Amino acid sequence: SSVAPEKSKSRPGEKKGFVEEMRFVAMKLHTRDQSKEGEKEADVQPVGQWKPSIPGYIKFLVDSKKVYDTMETIVEKASHPSYEYFRNTGLERSARLAKDLEWFASQGHEIPEAGPDGITYANLLTELSESDVPAFICHFYNVYFAHSAGGRFIGKQVAQQILDGRELEFYKWDGELSELLGAVKVNLNKVAEEWTREQKDHCLKETENSFKYSGKILRLIVS
């Protein structure tokens, strides 16, 4: 009998559902200094040594808002029925980022327009949401789940260094975050159940792009 190794091989995390597969691929793309599950070489500038500035951090928040505005418009519009599951998840960040930026403005800081990193990523998301559902879902998972994990850790660190420990709205959720994430996981698994193995693999492969585009926005913090 013939074997097709690539096709028959099971994927790490597969038995627990597709979110676990996405998580496994994402964790490996972290650097060792970011997470103990990371497999990439440490960054030239590990996150523990970041020297954030307020203007840099504001740029990061502005470009993040561009991305979350876009994500939240896409699921609201739901050009593909799968996206309807991801409306009103409680993970939405756009309105909270708007409040944070208002606060910075009230402190006398200049709030710039979105920069090229945010705009480029937002345009990619809009395009993928129409042309490539599995790729878009990969970005959706990574954008919201990364923020709930490493993003919060970074936020805490930045707040201690330059904001007198002030906790921004960006890092607050109504209700229990683990429950909100859990409900979204159920729906991500449900949506992916309808995909072929090829579509699933295509989605997993998009994780690298997610790191690339989000990574650029993250680095605005130290710009």
Chain residues in the site for ligand HEM (CB under 6 A): 23, 26, 30, 34-35, 47, 142, 145-146, 149-150, 153-154, 210-211, 214-215, 218
In the complex, minimum distance from the CB of residue 37 to ligand HEM, in angstroms, rounded to a whole number = 7
**Complex with ligand HEM: residue 109 or 148, whichever CB lies closer:** 148
CB-nearest residue to ligand HEM: 150
Is residue 91 within 8 A of residue 180, CB to CB? The reply is yes
Closest alpha carbon to 205 in 145, 138, 159: 138
Determine the residue type at 152: R
Question: Smallest distance from the beta carbon of 151 to ligand HEM, in angstroms?
Answer: 7
- Nearest distance from C-beta of residue 26 to ligand HEM, angstroms: 4
**Cβ-proximal residues to 29 (8 Å cutoff; 6+ apart), any chain:** 38, 39, 40, 207, 208, 211
CB of 211 to ligand HEM, least distance (A): 5
CB closer to ligand HEM, 23 vs 200 = 23
Q: How far is the CB of 82 from ligand HEM (least distance, A)?
A: 19
- CA-to-CA distance for 57 and 51, rounded, in angstroms? 10
In the complex with ligand HEM, the residue whose CB is nearer, 28 or 80, is 28
CA–CA dist 155, 149 (Å, integer): 10
Name which of 7 and 15 has its Cβ closer to ligand HEM. Answer: 15
Q: Which is nearer to ligand HEM, 20 or 169 (CB)?
A: 20
CA–CA separation, 92 vs 70, rounded Å?
Answer: 11
The residues with which 31 forms a beta bridge, in sequence order, are 40
Shortest spacing between CB 193 and ligand HEM, in angstroms? 19
Decide whether 30 or 200 has the Cβ nearer to ligand HEM: 30
Q: Which residues make Cβ contacts (< 8 Å) with residue 28, sequence separation at least 6?
A: 37, 38, 39, 40
Please state, in angstroms and rounded to a whole number, the distance separating the CA atoms of residues 36 and 164.
28
